[in-house]
Amino acid sequence: MIAVKVIDLQSEAKSKSFDVECNAMRNLRHRNLVKIISSCSNLDFKSLVMEFMSNGSVDKWLYSNNYCLSFLQRLNIMIDVASALEYLHLGSSMPVVHCDLKPSNVLLDENMVAHVSDFGIAKLMDEGQSKTHTQTLATVGYLAPEYGSKGIVSVKGDVYSYGIMLMEIFTRIMPTDDMFVAELSLKTWISGSLPNSIMEVMDSNLVQITWDQIDYILTHMSSIFSLALICCEDSPEARINMADVIATLIKIKTLVVGANTI
């Protein structure tokens, strides 16, 4: 089984994104990135041949009424995504900024292992370069402040998007939800819930399936939301790096698995 992504050649932006994605993925190999098997490109047709992800996107699992991800599944997904970003930022020969991290761009294989996909607006950082500029806007709600206002792209922008996704996956609330008006955002909503109102912002489905251990879960949720907020600091320099994100999440997972309650 394979997946084929066919590019709309009527759209100049999408046609350009094909070249960007090919360039970005050419030398990348990681278990948490969607593997591109081959590509096809001529004047009339462009496509990418990729490994098939049988469980679809995280977005589908998060917002469908037919599925409910467990606490541990959500934690594993976010560890997988963090591992992919750490590799892109620190492990490849040239740092790569994904620029559009969100649940619909993370796919799940048959074992529920997460794979980051869609590198159509990714940026390759030249040697010694820590940031660059772009006029290509990514998805509203996940953009770091410096990206949205000035078009500044750096690995710290991915960290911000990761923090938003981390909040979203445990609340089941999109950053663009209608409830967020004026000064209220997903970030300020989560910040206001710490440390005593966490159950009010957690995904209600998650509350139901973990009710027997809810006090125990709330302790870990506090750590997870605190980590997400550090990822989403307004200043890029104040944001944590992905290696430290992984270390924190694995520590939480070790406690959860060790307790053998979830």
Q: Is the entire prediction scored with pTM above 0.95?
A: no
The Cα–Cα gap between 194 and 168 comes to: 16
Beta strand 114-116 with 46-51 is: unpaired
Active site residues: 100
pLDDT score at 262: 59
Q: What is the pLDDT of residues 207-225, one digit of tens each?
A: 998 888 888 899 999 999 9
Q: What is the pLDDT of residues 79-118, one digit of tens each?
A: 999 999 999 999 887 899 999 999 999 999 999 999 999 9
Interacting residues of 215 by C-beta distance below 8 A, sequence separation 6+? none
Which residue from 196, 193, 187, 195 is spatially nearest to 162, judged by alpha carbons?
Answer: 187
pLDDT under 50: residue ranges of the chain:
none
pLDDT score at 261: 57
CA 32, distance to chain mean position in Å, is 11
DSSP-assigned beta bridge partners for residue 115: 107
pLDDT score at 213: 86
pLDDT score at 127: 62
**Domains, the chain, with CATH or none:** 53-259 (1.10.510.10)
Which residue from 253, 90, 60, 96 is spatially nearest to 172, judged by alpha carbons?
Answer: 60
Neighbours of 257 (CB within 10 A): 12
Tokens encoding 140: 């509203």
